[in-house]
């Protein structure tokens, strides 16, 4: 079976492609730039920008499955109107253009890595997101991903191509960037953190577990035209995550209490309300559908996943965790 993987040199793609090769799939790894080919291996295809006019016919030749990981994640414009336009150009128009050409070229299944932001930004206590919830995206990234999902489902009804949608929360692992990497560096320095009083619950997914779910969806008959949520099946509070990270580094977790409302208000005053939401708010996902339909469960525990992530980071930096 031949699989086309977009975003193959990215965080998820660079972990997925070697697994697929070990499973004896024939993989065409799509990269944006010529210099990324060395990371993707010999059977790679340089696509350039991904948008509504990208030509995919050569890359799609002979492909049975497309796994679409490539996406714009970060804003680049100064105004929200500019941001949403750019997100839609890549995440919505680019995705649907690829999917239409995939269907025309006889691709049997299109696996789309979306985001839990399609569900929303936060959950109420004891009410995790499910794949059946009404979509409630709030930022340009989540909106563009939701619009792509809507278009993909319509395409699946119009053609013979099956669509599988996977919505992960925060993904961590060796090489992770963004908020996880920032928090890891802070914990590594044993800096005092005012999070001891936070009582939230957040779902995360380790890169190994996400890759395992994606690979399960390639051929599983029950995955066709379904949407799945992903997580490690263990939700952590912010202080518990910090304690687990510190333990993996053999460092002390220096936490002291500050009322969460004060943290949230202070962060909002300095324009960091979104950061406060992630630190103080809850975001839980229910993966029972993934378990029931696919027989899937996370293969790597949170503690093992954190240790892998932190060991990987220590090899790439001057930080010594042990």
For the chain, give the mean pLDDT: 90
What mean pLDDT do residues 184-189 have? 90
Q: Of the spans 78-87, 259-268, 270-279, which averages the highest pLDDT?
A: 259-268
- Residue 78: band (very low, low, confident or very high) from pLDDT cuts 50, 70, 90: low
Backbone angles phi, psi at 167, to 5 degrees: -115, 100
In whole angstroms, what is the distance from residue 219 CA to residue 145 CA? 23
For residue 322, the model assigns a pLDDT of 29
For residue 123, the model assigns a pLDDT of 95
Number of domains in the chain: 1
For residue 75, the model assigns a pLDDT of 66
User: Is residue 232 in a domain?
Assistant: no
Tell me if residue 112 is catalytic: no
User: Cβ distance 257 to 197 under 8 Å?
Assistant: yes
Least confident of 22-31, 65-74, 298-307, 313-322: 313-322
User: Is residue 20 in a domain?
Assistant: yes
In whole angstroms, what is the distance from residue 90 CA to residue 52 CA? 8
Of 25, 112, 141, 172, the active-site residue reads 141
For residue 317, the model assigns a pLDDT of 44
In whole angstroms, what is the distance from residue 83 CA to residue 206 CA? 28
How does pLDDT run across 187-201, given as a tens digit for each residue? Answer: 999 889 999 999 999
What mean pLDDT do residues 96-101 have? 98
User: Cβ distance 168 to 118 under 8 Å?
Assistant: no
**Residue 34 belongs to what domain range?**
2-167
What mean pLDDT do residues 286-310 have? 94
User: Is residue 247 in a domain?
Assistant: no
User: Is residue 300 in a domain?
Assistant: no
For residue 203, the model assigns a pLDDT of 96
Of 189, 217, 176, the residue nearest 312 (C-alpha): 176
Percent of the chain residues topping a pLDDT of 90: 71
Beta bridge partners of 113: 166
Task: Please give the full DSSP string across 190-228, using - where no structure is assigned.
Answer: T--BS-TT----B-EEEHHHHHHHHHHTTT-GGGTTEEE
For residue 246, the model assigns a pLDDT of 93
pLDDT above 90: residue 77:
no
Of 297 and 272, which is predicted with more confidence? 297
How does pLDDT run across 187-242, given as a tens digit for each residue? Answer: 999 889 999 999 999 999 999 999 999 999 999 999 999 999 999 999 999 999 99
The residue behind tokens 């714009």 is 72
For residue 58, the model assigns a pLDDT of 92
- Residue 321: band (very low, low, confident or very high) from pLDDT cuts 50, 70, 90: very low
pTM confidence score: 0.92
Percent of the chain residues topping a pLDDT of 70: 91
Of 68 and 33, which is predicted with more confidence? 68
**What CATH number has the domain bearing residue 63?**
3.40.50.720
User: Is residue 252 in a domain?
Assistant: no
For residue 175, the model assigns a pLDDT of 86
User: Is residue 147 in a domain?
Assistant: yes
User: Is residue 308 in a domain?
Assistant: no
User: Cβ distance 28 to 66 under 8 Å?
Assistant: no
pLDDT above 80: residue 251:
yes
User: Is residue 250 in a domain?
Assistant: no
């Amino acid at each position: 079976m031949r699989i086309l993987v977009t975003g193959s040199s990215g965080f998820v793609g660079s972990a997925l492609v070697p697994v697929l090769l070990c499973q004896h799939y024939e993989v065409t790894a799509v990269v944006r730039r010529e210099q990324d080919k060395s990371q993707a291996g010999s059977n790679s295809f340089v696509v350039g920008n991904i948008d509504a006019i990208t030509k995919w016919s050569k890359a799609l030749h002979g492909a049975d499955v497309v796994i679409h990981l490539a996406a714009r994640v970060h804003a680049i414009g100064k105004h929200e109107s500019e941001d949403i336009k750019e997100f839609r150009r890549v995440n919505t128009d680019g995705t649907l253009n690829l999917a239409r050409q995939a269907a025309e070229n006889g691709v049997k299944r299109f696996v789309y890595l979306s985001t839990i932001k399609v569900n929303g930004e936060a959950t109420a206590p004891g009410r995790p997101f499910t794949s059946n919830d009404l979509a409630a995206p709030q930022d340009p990234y989540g909106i563009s991903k939701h619009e792509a999902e809507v278009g993909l489902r319509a395409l699946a009804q119009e053609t013979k191509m099956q669509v599988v949608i996977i919505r992960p929360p925060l993904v961590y692992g060796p090489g992770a960037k963004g908020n996880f990497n920032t928090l890891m560096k802070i914990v590594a320095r044993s800096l005092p953190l005012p999070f001891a009083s936070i009582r939230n619950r957040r779902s995360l997914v380790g890169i190994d577990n996400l890759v395992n779910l994606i690979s399960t969806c390639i051929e599983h008959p029950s995955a066709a035209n379904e949407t799945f949520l992903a997580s490690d099946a263990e939700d952590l509070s912010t202080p518990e995550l910090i304690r687990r990270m510190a333990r993996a580094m053999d460092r002390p977790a220096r936490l002291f209490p500050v009322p969460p409302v004060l943290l949230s208000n202070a962060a909002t005053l300095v324009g960091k309300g979104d950061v406060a939401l992630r630190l103080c708010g809850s975001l839980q996902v229910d993966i029972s559908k993934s378990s029931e339909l696919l027989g899937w469960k996370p293969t790597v525990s949170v503690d093992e996943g954190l240790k892998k992530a932190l060991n990987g980071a220590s090899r790439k930096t001057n930080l010594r965790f042990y």
